[in-house]
Amino acid sequence: MDPLRRSPSPCSSSSRPPSPRTPPPCEAQGYVGIEAVLDQVKIKAMKMGFEFNIMVVGQSGLGKSTMVNTLFRSKMWRSSLPSLGVPTLQTLQLQSMTHVIEEKGVRLKLTVTDTPGFGDQINNDKCWDPILGYIKEQYERYLQEEILITRQRHIPDTRVHCCIYFVPPTGHCLRPLDIEFLQRLCRMVNVVPVIARADSLTIEEREAFRLRIQKDLRTHCIEVYPQKCFDEDINDRLLNSKIRERIPFAVVGADREHLVNGRCVLGRKTKWGVIEVENMAHCEFPLLRDLLIRSHLQDLKDITHNVHYENYRVCRLNESHVLPRGPGWVNLTPAPSSSSSTPKPSKVRLRTHRSQDRKQK
Amino acid sequence: MPASSSSLEAPSLVFALCIARHSLFTAKGDPWLACGAGCWLWAVSRRKLPGSCGIRSFQIKRFLEDTDDAELNKFVKDFPGSESCHQPEAKTRVSRSHLESRPQTPDLCQDDLEFRPPSWPQSCDSQQFFTAPAPLSPSARPRSPWGKLDPYDSSEDDKEYVGFATLPNQVHRKSVKKGFDFTLMVAGESGLGKSTLVNSLFLTDLYRDRKLLSAEERIMQTVEITKHAVDIEEKGVRLRLTIVDTPGFGDAVNNTECWKPVAEYIDQQFEQYFRDESGLNRKNIQDNRVHCCLYFISPFGHGLRPLDVEFMKALHHRVNIVPILAKADTLTPPEVERKKCKIREEIEHFGIKVYQFPDCDSDEDEDFKLQDQALKESIPFAVIGSNTVVEARGRRVRGRLYPWGIVEVENPGHCDFVKLRTMLVRTHMQDLKDVTRETHYENYRAQCIQSMTRLVVKERNRNCGGCRRCCTKSKDR
């Protein structure tokens, strides 16, 4: 019999957050002080740190790696230019990199998964299978951790929270490959489509392209993030509908700095001017960054956990033909059916780089 | 023209300015010059914004002095935030007229507002470049507990940051929306002041229509478990509090195993949660697990009684036990100290694992460590409860009126009530829930699964009776 998990004794409370420093003052009688619970939640969250997993999908040359570098302000990725003569990759190979970044006391463990080789072949049939397989694999990993008898206090979360899909700036409409991919992916993960390399389109062209893309998405019933059905209340709906009007964002990525009017800005320098990434007049990168990081990061994680993961779990349970009639069913062996539901295993090379702290504690 | 009457905090201001710039400059001629000025405007807005008001008039004035850009003058004047700064600051003080009134506040707390999401423009040609969603309630907002810790409040250039330090705020916002729940159990003999204490702790009147049983009725009474649920809301934060009471505990003549119904109740809640968690529909799981048990020790004995010891030993692996020395106004301070020491010794002697406070980090300062130490040494908390309000030293306080003086419940010098309430609600509520969830519940779950597995294996062995074919077939399943 496994030893009982020890009730925390003074020696073993390393993982518990310490008592909050000072409770908020009791301003008057007639006040219980419930709002202090928020403080406690926050301290716990800060101590544990946050996790975020993001996947970028798109054809090569659309600036995915550069976009990741711009989003997180660091050279996460060396944008690799394939040298001439090297054959393009035959199969889609997913590469993951994990970094721990810290800002203002908040620690974030960020994992970026790149998908080089997507849509690059002549015959791109089923090129989305490795990606779907990878996403399902992460869900499966989490599920297996969750049904263990002695499970960890905090299950490491490798599920993909957000998938950014790069649409090439053709200016016309979504291509069949885009539509096929988006249809399949929207059911499993939060997808945020963006118009890549938007500096090749003028503002009017961008707007027209955007409207056409929105129309295409509606025609094919593709629900991108933020999904309409998950709006919780009126506030959310108001805000999210405004975001939905601007999806897909027209973005430009850059990781070089240039001098403009005496200031250093991230941008692309051309003969006719400098395209500033952070400038709302030039591109919508700030909107994308704000959506992903500053305002909806937690929401992305919540929807992944509460909706997409639950859907996957229900499917898995039904597949195993074990109905939840009492606790006995947890003997869910990794069923052989799991390998048949995921397609041929993709070559997933996980390169975990050293954790770098941007700011020392 | 929307005029957001309440304060705008830094992040939303930035978003607003971003969008404003965008709309403004697409209508004008030269994007690059305007762009430079716009970025400066943005950088200016990132400076520290003290107080609760968003952008203050002096900041706008300073900015206007700095640049001579006429465009930006116009922009700033049109900017809705600038109107609010001409009004007197919305000093957020919730009036508390009388003793028992809870601060009734709007649903939106200040932090929600400081975090107000960006306003996304309708179209880039629209002149109305800032439409904030209407706040839920226009009244004054109380100071958020995280107001001091708002990220991106410094004068550093915001462009250097990625921006995820708003994560705690995002979590906060969701927590406020969802609300909290807490289940508290009170156990102990009758007449120790359990109901009164609960009323005092949460300023409710849960036991208004209670009828005390007479002695004859009590003889036949078995221990029952009763639940009272109440919703408390303060400053926009909702708490669903459930009090589990155990009337009849320790009242009979023969009290053997009177803790059994209590232990069974707790196990039942764990089992129900386990089933729900393992089921298919996990969206709306009701969490009825008991997070904390206040056990009342009588002040009239000499330390722990045998019943107390048995109860705590039966339950310390199932629930967080916080021992309470009840009716402490019957004891003088030295007696209280002696009793506390005795009870602590006995708890250690019998190997009872009461709830332990988490340690503070080693890099905390001395004051905090002392505070923490003081809290740990206050176990068991000597409390006094009261349902009545009396006049003491010119103020109306909860207390008990005796001919020889007035006992004030909320006076730290009189009893540990304040410490208990602080611990329970303001500093350790989340930790209590975490320990329940991560330790007690996980232990229960592990035991449950193992016993189930053993049962299944036994059944299988019995049924097939050792037949080789059956065994291999069932192994493959």
pLDDT in tens, A254-267: 878 888 888 888 88
Which of B265, B162, B252, B174 has the alpha carbon at shortest distance from B213? B252
| Domain at A39-79+88-254+282-320, CATH class | alpha beta
The answer to whether the Cβ–Cβ distance between A73 and B166 falls below 8 Å is no
Q: For residues B221 and B193, which has the higher predicted lDDT (pLDDT)?
A: B193
Q: Which residues pair with A103 in a beta bridge?
A: A106
Non-local CB neighbours of B459 within 8 Å, separated by 6+ positions: none
- Rounded to an integer, what distance in angstroms lies between the CA atom of residue A266 and that of residue A256? 6
Please determine, for residue B259, whether its predicted confidence score (pLDDT) is greater than 70: yes
Q: What torsion, rounded to 10 degrees, do the Cα atoms B175, B176, B177, B183 define? A: 70
The burial of B186, by beta-carbon neighbours within 10 Å (0-12 exposed, 13-18 middle, 19 or more buried), is given as: buried
Lowest mean pLDDT segment, chosen from A45-49, A143-147, B365-369 = B365-369
Place of tokens 């299978």: A129
- Rounded to an integer, what distance in angstroms lies between the CA atom of residue A25 and that of residue A131? 52
The one-letter code for the residue type at A62 is L
Please determine, for residue B204, whether its predicted confidence score (pLDDT) is greater than 70: yes
**Mind telling me how many Å the CA of B218 is from chain A's nearest CA?**
34
* B76-115 confidence digits (pLDDT tens): 344 333 333 333 333 333 333 333 344 444 333 344 433 3
At A25 the pLDDT is 43
At B119 the pLDDT is 43
**What is the mean pLDDT of the segment spanning B359-381?**
77
- Side-chain half-sphere exposure of A308, counting CA atoms within 13 A: 30
What mean pLDDT, rounded, does chain A reach?
Answer: 77
The answer to whether the Cβ–Cβ distance between A281 and B22 falls below 8 Å is yes
- What b/e readout covers B258-287, taking b as 16+ CB neighbours within 10 angstroms? bbebbbebbeebbeebbebebeeeeeeeeb
- Rounded to an integer, what distance in angstroms lies between the CA atom of residue B291 and that of residue A230? 31
Q: In chain B, which among 403-462 make CB contacts under 8 A with chain A?
A: 410, 418, 421-422, 425-431, 434-435, 438-440, 442-443, 445-446, 448-450, 452-453, 456
What six digits make up the tokens of A276? 């500033």
- Rounded to an integer, what distance in angstroms lies between the CA atom of residue B448 and that of residue B17? 57
At A90 the pLDDT is 54
Q: For residues B251 and B183, which has the higher predicted lDDT (pLDDT)?
A: B183
Please determine, for residue B132, whether its predicted confidence score (pLDDT) is greater than 70: no
Closest CB to B234 among A32, A273, A302: A32
Please determine, for residue B192, whether its predicted confidence score (pLDDT) is greater than 50: yes
Give me the total of CB pairs closer than 8 Å, taking one residue from chain A and one from chain B.
290
Please determine, for residue B332, whether its predicted confidence score (pLDDT) is greater than 70: yes
At B140 the pLDDT is 29
Question: Which residue from A minimizes the CA distance to B117?
Answer: A295
Which of A34, A85, A92, A38 has the alpha carbon at shortest distance from A60? A92
Instruction: Check if A8 contacts B (Cβ < 8 Å).
Output: yes
- Rounded to an integer, what distance in angstroms lies between the CA atom of residue B70 and that of residue B28? 12
E strand map for chain A = 50-57, 94-103, 106-114, 162-167, 191-195, 249-250, 257-260, 263-270, 273-276, 348-350
What mean pLDDT, rounded, does chain B reach?
Answer: 69
Helix (H) or strand (E) holding B398: strand B395-402
Contact B162, A73 (CB under 8 A): yes
**What is the SS3 assignment for B235-258?**
CCEEEEEEEEECCCCCCCCCCCCC
Contact B146, B111 (CB under 8 A): yes
What length does chain B have? 477
The burial of A242, by beta-carbon neighbours within 10 Å (0-12 exposed, 13-18 middle, 19 or more buried), is given as: middle
The phi-psi region of residue A336 (left if phi > 0; otherwise alpha if psi is between -120 and 50; otherwise beta) is alpha
**What is the mean pLDDT of the segment spanning B409-432?**
85
* A98-125 confidence digits (pLDDT tens): 888 888 888 888 898 988 878 888 888 8
Closest CB to A19 among B175, B360, B435: B360
Which of A249, A193, A179, A250 has the alpha carbon at shortest distance from A221? A179
Place of tokens 């009688």: A29
At A234 the pLDDT is 84
- Rounded to an integer, what distance in angstroms lies between the CA atom of residue B85 and that of residue B87? 5
Q: Per-residue DSSP letters for B321-378?
A: EEEEE--GGGS-HHHHHHHHHHHHHHHHHTT---PPPPPPPTTS-HHHHHHHHHHHTT
Q: For residues A115 and B17, which has the higher predicted lDDT (pLDDT)?
A: A115
The one-letter code for the residue type at A105 is G
At B273 the pLDDT is 92
Q: Which residues of B touch A72 (CB under 8 A)?
A: 162
3-state SS, residue B233? strand
Q: What is the share, in percent, of chain B residues with pLDDT greater than 70?
A: 59
Confidence band of A159 (pLDDT split at 50, 70, 90)? very high
What six digits make up the tokens of B453? 């597995």
Helix (H) or strand (E) holding A238: helix A234-246
**What is the mean pLDDT of the segment spanning A312-337?**
59
Instruction: Check if B162 contacts A (Cβ < 8 Å).
Output: yes
Non-local CB neighbours of B454 within 8 Å, separated by 6+ positions: none
